[in-house]
């Protein structure tokens, strides 16, 4: 299959909408990461997503809508007060809510669960595509399973060339990390995947929030997570990643030592560090993660892809604090490292 890459335009969106209606896949920009979309109400189309990504069939997808009114047909209840408050404050935006599902949603989307994940994205091209398709669009991130999520159309092409007919190019994604996934089926909203909508913000909107403790640790043997996505080692660079955490100077000297040891063992090490810390690593090979947690959110997936492209086989990364969007950054980095985190003093 030939993969076409078209800049976002009215005719491109119309063509993409037509492809979705015909059951084909289209990659499209959102404010978080690029999505790989199919008609959410067509089980055969949705199965093509799993094939193109090589995604395990038990990991459910997010249904994307372009207006709040479209929610009712996908869910099987009135949204709770907390859900309403979150929708009012954070939609359109980088937030996904988990509701009891309606029967209109095929099993292929929910992986057989009795809940469905729904998001109203802010990116105008994403919303225009949903409107053009005249259907909700099921879309995971547009990477091959296990690769970092794509934040540019070029990343999508790297992973999906020859597998899908069309990629809409809307430039780099604004947030750079996937949406916050919040379970609103119970009393207090529970964060299953941290993202741009932070726990602090959720607490301010709803008066309370729980963060699932599996967000910052590996799953135990045989443990059934609240969100199937927690099971998989996402965002994995080809090289082994170690995160070094602690006081700034101690971190720099530990990373230098680990880097030099790896080099001595004939490896090709690489450092990921905050911009302002780069001088501490001298002539060692290092990439910038930006200057704070927000920039890191924006850069991290692209840098993990760069690390692969450079053939790095031992990666050492600095950490950031888990306040605000830092929690989402450390969740993605932690999982890329299979939670191999070294603390230094």
State the residues that interact with ligand TXA by CB under 6 A: 30, 32-33, 35, 59-62, 96, 98, 110, 113, 115-117, 119, 139-141, 178-179, 181, 192-193, 227-229
Q: Which does 35 bind (CB under 5 to 8 A by kind): ligand TXA, Mg ion, none?
A: ligand TXA
Q: What residues does 242 pair with on adjacent strands?
A: 316
Q: Which residue in the shown chain puts its C-beta closest to ligand TXA?
A: 229
CB of 66 to ligand TXA, least distance (A): 13
Query: At its nearest, how many Å lie between ligand TXA and the CB of residue 280?
Result: 33
Q: Which residue lies nearer to Mg ion by CB, 39 or 141?
A: 141
Binds 192, which of ligand TXA, Mg ion, none (CB < 5 to 8 A, cut-off by type)? ligand TXA
Binding residues vs Mg ion (CB under 5 A):
141
Q: Which of residues 56 and 279 has its CB atom nearest to Mg ion in the complex?
A: 56
Q: Which is nearer to Mg ion, 251 or 297 (CB)?
A: 297
CA distance 342 to 319: 10
Measured from the CB atom, is 141 or 151 closer to Mg ion? 141
Residue 104 touches which of Mg ion, ligand TXA, none (CB < 5 to 8 A by kind)?
none
Q: How far is the CB of 121 from ligand TXA (least distance, A)?
A: 6
Between 235 and 316, CB nearer to Mg ion: 235
- Are 80 and 165 in contact by the 8 Å Cβ rule? The answer is no
Q: Which is nearer to ligand TXA, 15 or 101 (CB)?
A: 101
* Binding site partner of 24, from Mg ion, ligand TXA, none, Cβ cut-off 5-8 A by kind: none
Report the chain's terminal Cα–Cα distance, integer Å: 54
For the CB of residue 189, give the shortest distance to ligand TXA in the complex, in Å.
Answer: 13
Burial class (CB in 10 A: 0-12, 13-18, 19+), 306: middle
Comparing CB distances to ligand TXA, the nearer of 178 and 295 is 178
From ligand TXA, Mg ion, none, which one binds at residue 151 (CB under 5 to 8 Å depending on kind)?
none
Least distance from C-beta 278 to Mg ion, angstroms? 29
User: Minimum distance between the CB of residue 165 and ligand TXA, rounded to whole angstroms?
Assistant: 18
Least distance CB 280 / Mg ion (angstroms)? 33
Q: Which of 228, 234, 246, 227 is nearest to 301 (CA)?
A: 234
- Nearest approach in angstroms of CB 16 to ligand TXA is 14
Residue 214 tokens read as 């599996």
Number of C-beta neighbours around residue 25 at 10 A:
26
Pick the closer one to ligand TXA by CB: 193 or 277.
Answer: 193
Residue 252 vs residues 166, 247, 264, 333: alpha-carbon distances, Å = 44, 9, 18, 18
* Residue 331 interacting partner from ligand TXA, Mg ion, none (CB closer than 5 to 8 Å by kind): none
Which CB atom, from 232 or from 339, has the smaller least distance to Mg ion?
Answer: 232
Residue with tokens 């840098």: 303
* Shortest CB 141 distance to Mg ion, Å: 3
């Amino acid at each position: 299959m030939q993969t076409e890459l078209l800049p976002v335009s009215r005719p491109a969106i119309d063509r993409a909408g037509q492809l979705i209606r015909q059951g084909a896949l289209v990659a499209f920009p959102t404010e978080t990461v690029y999505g790989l979309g199919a008609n959410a109400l067509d089980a055969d189309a949705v199965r093509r997503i799993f094939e193109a990504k090589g995604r395990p069939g038990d990991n459910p997808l997010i249904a994307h809508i372009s207006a709040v009114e479209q929610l009712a047909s996908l869910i099987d209840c009135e949204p709770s007060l907390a859900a309403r408050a979150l929708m009012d404050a954070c939609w359109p935006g980088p937030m996904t809510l988990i509701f009891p599902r309606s029967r209109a949603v095929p099993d292929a989307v929910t992986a057989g669960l009795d809940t469905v994940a729904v998001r109203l994205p802010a990116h105008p091209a994403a919303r225009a595509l949903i409107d053009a398709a005249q259907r909700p669009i099921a879309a995971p991130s547009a990477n091959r399973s296990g690769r970092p999520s794509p934040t540019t159309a070029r990343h999508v092409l790297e992973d999906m060339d020859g597998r899908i007919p069309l990629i809409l190019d809307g430039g780099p994604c604004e947030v750079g990390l996937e949406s916050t996934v919040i379970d609103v089926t119970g009393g207090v909203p529970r964060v299953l995947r941290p993202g741009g909508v932070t726990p602090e913000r959720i607490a301010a909107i709803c008066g309370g929030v729980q963060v699932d403790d599996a967000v910052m640790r590996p799953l135990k043997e045989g443990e059934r997570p609240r969100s199937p996505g927690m099971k998989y080692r996402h965002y994995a660079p080809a090289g082994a990643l170690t995160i070094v955490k602690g006081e700034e100077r101690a971190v720099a000297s530990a990373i230098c030592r680990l880097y030099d040891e790896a080099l001595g063992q004939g490896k090709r090490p690489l450092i990921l560090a905050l911009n302002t810390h780069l001088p501490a690593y001298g002539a060692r090979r290092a990439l910038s993660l930006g200057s704070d947690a927000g920039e890191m959110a924006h850069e991290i997936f692209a840098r993990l892809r760069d690390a692969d492209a450079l053939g790095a086989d031992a990666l050492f990364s600095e950490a950031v604090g888990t306040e605000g969007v830092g929690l989402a950054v450390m969740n993605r980095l932690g999982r890329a490292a299979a939670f191999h985190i070294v603390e230094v003093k």
